[in-house]
Structure 1
Amino acid sequence: MTVFKRKQVVALALVLLIIVAGYLQYSYKKSSTASADKDAGKIGEAVYVENSDSEDPDFVALDEEGDAAAASKEANDLFAEAKLNRDMTRSKSESALKEIIEDENASQESRDEANKKMIEMVERTDCEVRIETLIKNKGFEDALAVFADDGTLDICVKAPTLTASDVAKIADIASRQANIEISDITVKNIY
């Protein structure tokens, strides 16, 4: 394969990864029913909460243990699948960036940019893992933290409900670990 074709393949792979990541982010944001509050962002104040409520016509009470166990298993599968998808996407991006970094025919500028993106990806991944671990240490069964391309942070927590205090704790952890404003953090419960 010629160098030109190889560069085209790498560029195409990067474009496809960006498109897939954008689609996943869009579909994730679209599924979120929380809305941003322009005046939000004070520590200790609930910013975003999605909570199942019995007055909601779509709410289905889980009266039987079997239904609750099935819902819990489904949530476990959702968290595991989301983390796996995130890791696979990052692995593909990492491979593409490594190719650019190691390509002797690539310009120094391209190699430097790929190296910078690789470092940012590693830092974001490390931050997401720290946030997830700290949230689980607060007593939540599972958590998923994902940075968006615009620097905002989405957090899903496995919990039947979230109180304003829970949301404040989670947002505080994420804000401190990611060094971002609380208004840039969305917290959602899944159960």
Structure 2
Amino acid sequence: MFTIKKPAIIIILVLLLVLTGYINHNLTKQASARVSSDYQNYEESELAKELQSDESLVPALSEDEEMDDFEIIDSESSSSLDDMITETEEEISQAISSEERLISKNYFIEQRLSRDKLRASLIDRLNAIVNNENSSQQMIDEAQKKIMEIGNLSEKELTIEGLIKAKGFEEALVFLTENDAKIVVGKEELTEQDVVKILEIVLSETDLDAENVNIMKKN
């Protein structure tokens, strides 16, 4: 008759306990990750609602003001469209670089929402030009071109943010224009190696020169 010696039984029991502990640890880790992810999504959703209701975040235009802007743009050259876009870009850039906002606990959520909301407002104004019966065909073509350019920049920003976080940075916010880039990362100190990593990503995803890329850390 086959028998298992006592030392062998002890070893088997120890192995079973270790295996059980390992399985429990992984299950707990997975559950915690799901809870953390769900809470983060809930927090971002709630903050988004709060920011959307904050009229001070993005200056609202009255219907009369919007019509005035469109009439002025339509009566001038396409340079007026460039001015409108430049104004929006400067507003986003200033908000992202603001020392007061950089110390905010929810900086990345707030500024990403602010950037996207300002961009959405700009696209709405461009679409209004496209749909305006008084717009010339040249102005319509220019507005549609600008809308496509804004969409392409937004896609690149999302891609670069993902690539930066894949390099080990906890969080990243990217703002691109046709001429420059501004990147803010969530790290207490930026080393030269960190800057090189980020710069390589930006240069590989855009046609910008290194001197036109501004890399910052969140305070």
1:18-37 map, 5 Å = 18-19=86-87, 21-26=89-94, 28=96
5+ residue gaps, structure 2: 1-64, 74-80
- CA–CA separation in structure 1 for the residues paired with 2:129 and 2:155: 23
- CA–CA separation in structure 2 for the residues paired with 1:16 and 1:179: 23
Aligned CA distance change for structure 1 residues 103 and 121 (closer, same or farther; 3 Å)? same
- CA–CA separation in structure 1 for the residues paired with 2:67 and 2:153: 27
After the TM superposition, which segments of 4 or more aligned residues of structure 1 sit over 4 Å from their partners?
11-18, 26-31
SS state at 2:106 partner? helix
SS state at 2:170 partner? coil
How many residues are matched?
145
Corresponding residue for 2:21?
Answer: none
Which of 1 and 2 has greater Rg? 2
Verify: 1:186 aligned to 2:210, yes or no.
Answer: no
Aligned CA distance change for structure 1 residues 106 and 97 (closer, same or farther; 3 Å)? same
Corresponding residue for 2:162?
Answer: 133
The aligned amino acid for 1:158 is G
Q: Give the C-alpha shift of residue 10 in structure 1.
A: 2.9
The alignment's C-alpha RMSD in Å is 2.9
Aligned CA distance change for structure 1 residues 17 and 178 (closer, same or farther; 3 Å)? closer
Output one character per residue of 1:88-111: Cα deviation in whole Å (capped at 9) or x when no partner: 101101111111112233100000
Q: Give the C-alpha shift of residue 169 in structure 1.
A: 0.6
The aligned amino acid for 1:78 is Y
**Structure 1 or 2: more helix by fraction:** 2
Given the two structures, how large is their TM-score scaled by the length of structure 2?
0.58
Is the 1:17–1:89 Cα contact (8 Å) retained in structure 2? no
Aligned CA distance change for structure 1 residues 22 and 6 (closer, same or farther; 3 Å)? closer
Aligned match of 1:145 in 174, 181, 187?
A: 174
Corresponding residue for 1:8?
Answer: 68
SS state at 1:146 partner? strand
Q: Give the C-alpha shift of residue 115 in structure 1.
A: 0.6
SS state at 1:118 partner? helix
Corresponding residue for 2:196?
Answer: 168
1:69-88 map, 5 Å = 76-88=105-117
Aligned match of 1:120 in 128, 149, 158?
A: 149
1:58-73 map, 5 Å = none
Output one character per residue of 1:164-185: Cα deviation in whole Å (capped at 9) or x when no partner: 1110010000011012111211
Is the 2:92–2:118 Cα contact (8 Å) retained in structure 1? no
Corresponding residue for 2:134?
Answer: 105
Given the two structures, how large is their TM-score scaled by the length of structure 1?
0.65
Q: Give the C-alpha shift of residue 27 in structure 1.
A: 6.0
- CA–CA separation in structure 2 for the residues paired with 1:165 and 1:157: 14
Corresponding residue for 1:155?
Answer: 183
Relative contact order higher in (CA < 8 Å, ≥ 6 apart): 1
